[in-house]
Every structure is written in structure tokens, then in C-alpha cells.
Amino acid sequence: MTFAAFTASVLLCFMAAISPGPAVLMAARVGLARGWRSGLALAVGIGTGAIMWAGAALFGLNLLFDYAPFLLTLLKIGGAAFLIYMAWNMWRHASEPMSEESDARLPQTAFAAFRLGILTQMSNPKPAAFFGAVFVGTVPEDSSALALAALLFCIFLGEVTWNTFVARIFSFEKTRRGYINLKHVIDRIFGGLLAALGVKIAAV
């Protein structure tokens, strides 16, 4: 695998990571409500989910979906249901004041944030389609195991860096004070966006 091909694959994956979607939205939400440390744990989970999709793609994920397209349909329905469930909880509890115990739908521990990151990434079929159709097309068939491992690490690092950055921006005290004052509005906006993404995933 040439350096140019490696760089192109990494940049392509990073552009996919920064595109708006459930992962970025969840990073912003957790950063607002729980702070950047929880956002970092969430970002590590998102990165872990990304390399799970990428690794599966390298081992023939697209062939599996071609052979059994109903699996992709099930993934879309399941992912959409998860996102809509999260959206409903955000909307339903939007008017509740923010407190340490109030928002049980968001992670209370670093491990819970990590787990939510994985669930958010794995419930979104967009990475499955991207890694299974676009990503594998940029990876030469004769790539060494070392090159593939380095590529997966860069994918992980890109996802973690970007989503941690998003969480950090939204975790600033000034931003959080504004969130506390407008929680009922912001939570409904986040919930509406998550629901819209869920519907879009199910419909595509």
C-alpha cells in the first residue's frame, strides 16, 4: 500500500467522520449535559464502533449484505428504532430541570458513555454503507497486515479526535450555562434532529 493510497483512505474516512450524523450529534449532547470527560469516553466508543465497521468491511461486509440484503434492512430498522427511542426520551424529558440525577438517558459513568458511543455508531448503517462500499475501494488488495492495522488506528484516532473536539466545544461553561437556561428548547431540537436522522435511515 503506497503512502498516497494510505493518505487518501485516511482523509476520506476523516471527512466521513466529521460529516453531520448521530455520532456528532450525540457528542454535542453529551458534552453539553455531562462535560468533556464523558464526551471523551463517548468519542472512544464511537471510534471503537468505527473500526468495528471498517474491520468488518475489510473482511467482506459488503459481500454479506449483497448475499443477504435483508440483514442491511434489519440493521436500518434497528438503528432507526434506537435513534428514535433516544429522541423520544430527550423530547419527553426536555422540560425537566438539569440535575445530577435527572437525565438517566445520558451516561452517568465513563463506561456508560463508552458503551453509548459504540451503540450510537453500530446502530447507524451509514458507516456500514461507507466502509463496505467506499472505503474498501480505496484499499489495495495486496495491502499488508501492518498497513491495515495502521489504517484502522488512524480511523479510530480521527473519530475520537473529532468527536472529542465537538464534545469539548459544547462543554465550555458559557455554553453549558446557556444550555441550562434553554434546556427545554435545546433538548427538543436535539430530539427532533435525532428522530429525523432515524426516519431518514429507515427510509433510505
CA neighbor of 81 nearest in space, from 198, 200, 204, 193:
198
The answer to whether 30 touches 113, Cβ cutoff 8 Å, is yes
The series of mean pLDDT values per 10 residues for the chain, 204 residues long, is 81 81 86 87 95 83 61 67 72 59 64 91 77 70 83 93 92 73 70 73 64
Count Cβ neighbours within 10 Å for each residue of 89-101 and write b for 16 or more, e otherwise: bbbebbeeeeeee
What is the per-residue pLDDT for 101?
A: 42
Q: Give the residue ranges of DSSP H helices in 1-132.
A: 3-18, 22-34, 36-58, 61-67, 69-92, 110-122, 125-129
Domain limits of the chain? 22-203
What is the per-residue pLDDT for 44?
A: 96
3-state SS assignment for residue 102: coil
The answer to whether 151 touches 10, Cβ cutoff 8 Å, is yes
Which residue in the block uniquely carries the three cell numbers 483512505?
9
3 to each of 7, 10, 28, 55, 151, how far by Cα in Å? 6, 11, 34, 20, 11
Q: What's the whole-model pTM score?
A: 0.72
